[in-house]
Amino acid sequence: PVELNPTLLPLEWLLGTWESDEPGEGCFPTIKPFRYTETLHFTHVGQPVINFMFNAFHAESKKPLHRECGFIRMQPGANKVAFIIAQNSGLVEIEEGELTGQQLNLQTHALARISFAKEPHVQQITRVFQLQPDGTLEQTVSMATDNQPLTQHLHITYHRSS
């Protein structure tokens, strides 16, 4: 096993594989509420970078739905964190934010999409990762689209599976 790059020590609690406990809840004013399961993988190879993959499935049909993957970097000597993200919907994104203890608050810093991305287009994303005192991990995602202000889209809790 390769030693974690010291730049990333503040994010060590994130490393590993996380699986949803109860199905997560998806909502938005324009869609039917839905339930989903999700697995998160956070790994590293000794670089000052965390590699991640998030795979989500419909809770009832088990069909693969949303997938995203990318890299996490931390500004050395600061609590600033950047997520570099590619989503299967055709979106690429940079989210930046702050690490406070074991809570990460991120928001869109840059966003681009394929020319034939489905509408409405996302304009802004915010997300919070929070390690709970009981060791579970919580993620909450909000988004703004062409026709809706910033509103919650996702909420889910995971337990560490490895």
| For residue 23, cis peptide bond before it (omega within 30 degrees of 0) | no
For ligand HEM, which is the closer residue by CB, 12 or 60? 60
What are the residues whose beta carbons fall under 8 Å from the beta carbon of 66, sequence distance 6 or more? 36, 54, 56, 87, 88, 89
**Which residues inside 66-105 make contact with ligand HEM, applying CB under 6 A?**
66
Asked whether position 153 contacts ligand HEM by CB under 6 A, the answer is yes
* Composition of the chain by helix, strand, coil, percent to 5: 5, 60, 35
According to CB under 6 A, which one of 30, 43, 100, 151 is a site residue for ligand HEM? 30
Measure CA of the first residue to CA of the last residue in the chain; give whole Å.
14
For ligand HEM, which is the closer residue by CB, 4 or 69? 69
C-beta atoms surrounding 93 within 10 Å: 20
Total chain residues near ligand HEM (CB under 6 A): 17
Stretch of 28-36, 72-80, 98-106, 129-137 contacting ligand HEM, by CB under 6 A = 28-36
According to CB under 6 A, which one of 122, 126, 137, 142 is a site residue for ligand HEM? 122
